[in-house]
Chains A and B, each alone.
Chain A
Amino acid sequence: MILELNNINKSFINNDKQSFAAVKNVNMHLGKGECIGIVGESGCGKSTLARIICHLTYVDNGNIFFKGRNSTRLKGKELKDYYKNVQMVFQDPLSTFSPRMKIGDYLMEPFVNFKIMGKKEARKYVGDLLENVGLSKEYLNRYPNELSGGQLQRVVIARCIGINPEIIIFDEATSCLDVSIQNQILKLIFELRQKSNFSSIFITHDLAIAENICDRIYVMKSGEIVEVLEENNIVREAQHPYTKLLLESSLVFS
């Protein structure tokens, strides 16, 4: 077991001073090399949960176990190591870039910072990473606002994959890609998973994708997990009314 969440809770204090529970009593586990999915209503707490796992937001209560160790509160070197090992592709790609940093520098940053390789070597490495996600090396010299939405998203995916972490969380990472590039990225992730055996958490609204790539799917609504699907056939397995509602809507579009 690489990651275990026990009874995670998180509330926000609103501007009218009321407390709003975004994540309620969530239990979840992720095995080495596994890929789990989270699907659910917009605003139900998926990204908040992801940020908790990445230590970008504190939990109110509950525990996070990373490789068997209680990692709910970390600081200093431990936290730094954790950041390196648990990476996230954010929902809104543009927010992860600083507008004045070229794509090449953005991609090289972690390798140079974590002292994984020298500058020259890093430049070659990140060029190859870009090509893996279907972008030419020329993009290294561009600024973020000179790329399309889907191109930016792929740059973020390339960087995360390149760091070679133990866990990657993909938060709606392929929803702004057309189906053919989406398939290409999913294939890439699948191949890498076989090679380096990283574990992943896939947050997506696309039930078909979740069914295709996930070993287990958690269905969330209003901060809670309402159903866990493990059989790789959502239509057959869905019991909870909310999961069925999602299914019905998705069949309207197919």
Chain B
Amino acid sequence: MSTLLEIKNLTVKYDGEENIINNINISVGHKEIIGIVGESGCGKTTLIRTIINLLPKHASIVGGEIIFDGKDLCHFNKEQWRQLRGKEIGMVFQNPSSYLNPIMKVEKQIIEAIRNHKNVEVKIAKEKAKETLQKMNLLDTERIMNSYPFQLSGGMKQRVAIAMAMVMEPKLIIADEPTSALDVTTQLQITNELIQLRDKFNTSIIMVTHNIGCAAYMSDKIMVMNNGRIEEFAATSRILNDPRKEYTKQLLGAMPKLKGAEGW
């Protein structure tokens, strides 16, 4: 498998604090799905924001390299980032409401996102938007397109955000707990849609999740993070069947289970 994203010796800190991300090395192949799990506050969001150059002002990369599709991202200028984000790298943030435009209807937001990168007619963009929302199990599509974000439920906003990341069929999707607030049936459907996107367009996916079951279901590899470092990073079945670090064992052991689930 050829490499799409390569992170070498990455270290990141916020001003006046210790390193939050500590010497991280990862490579993500084309078509590969990586699940990232780890304790609240261990640096998952910081890592993702570093990759897409959206760290706050008072944070800095202490050292390391980020290579995407053969290009060194650390030296990209504003215009290059504008081209890359959305079109080649799709993003879903942990709190979608703060990234959706509160005063623009969903329809317009998605259509603009498409037309920013692709020279298509509004009508075609609208069809594409509808189709993608339906894949997110947003079946009441007309009403949702015609709504402002505040008129949608938490999980509906999450799904609009996922649709906006998927609609461009990017090379890489980076998603920070995209399904954390969704009922399990919808979660399963969206996970399957992401897998299909991967199969169809060779999209690679990096997904932060607290749902180890979900990580296990969709990822080729799982990365377990703790305190800004990688605890272990290996094929999903290896992590599940033969966890080597205490922390990983703890995470796996703490998963809540249904009482009657045996024998189903």
Contact = CB atoms under 8 A, between A and B. Distances in A.
Interface stretch (A70-78, A90-98, A110-118): A90-98
A182 B80 CA distance: 40
A132 interface: no
Contacts of B95: 92-94, 149
Contact of B181 (A15, A172, A235): A172
B211 interface: yes
Contacts of A208: 256-258
Contacts of A95: 97
Interface in A203-254: 205-209, 211-212, 232-236, 245-247, 249-254
A180 B251 contact: yes
A208 B217 CA distance: 18
B242 interface: no
A42 B264 contact: no
B56 A211 contact: no
| Highest count of chain B CB atoms <10 Å: which of A46, A149, A206 | A149
B241 to A, nearest CB: 15
A177 B105 contact: no
| Highest count of chain A CB atoms <10 Å: which of B14, B146, B148 | B146
Contacts of A14: 143, 146-147, 151
A212 B258 CA distance: 8
A182 B187 CA distance: 19
Nearest to B146: A15
B109 interface: no
Given A42-B153, A208-B258, A151 B41 contact: yes
Chain A interface residue count: which class?
35 or more
Contact of A148 (B41, B158, B255): B41
Contacts of A179: 210, 212, 251, 254-256
A175 interface: yes
A19 B25 CA distance: 53
A250 B259 contact: no
B186 interface: yes
A150 interface: yes
Contacts of B243: none
Interface in B28-77: 37-41, 44-45, 56
Interface in A43-64: 43, 46-48
A41 interface: yes
B183 A42 contact: yes
B98 interface: yes
A149 B177 contact: yes
A40 interface: yes
A47 B147 contact: no
A253 B256 contact: no
Contact of B186 (A41, A92, A236, A253): A41
A43 B153 CA distance: 5
A181 interface: yes
B250 interface: yes
A42 B250 contact: no
Contact of A172 (B37, B94, B140, B154): B154
Given A178-B37, A253-B213, A47 B153 contact: yes
Contacts of B185: 41, 245-246, 249
B45 A206 contact: no
Contact of B40 (A20, A177, A249): A177
| Highest count of chain B CB atoms <10 Å: which of A42, A211, A232 | A42
A253 B264 CA distance: 13
Interface in B177-235: 177, 180-188, 210-214, 216-217
Identify the 6 closest CB pairs spanning chains A and B, nearest first. Answer: A235-B260, A150-B40, A42-B155, A253-B213, A208-B256, A179-B254
16 contacts: A14-B147, A15-B105, A20-B143, A40-B183, A41-B185, A148-B45, A149-B94, A176-B40, A179-B210, A179-B256, A183-B256, A207-B184, A233-B260, A234-B260, A235-B261, A253-B213
Interface of A: 12, 14-16, 20, 39-43, 46-48, 91-95, 145-151, 154, 172, 175-183, 205-209, 211-212, 232-236, 245-247, 249-254
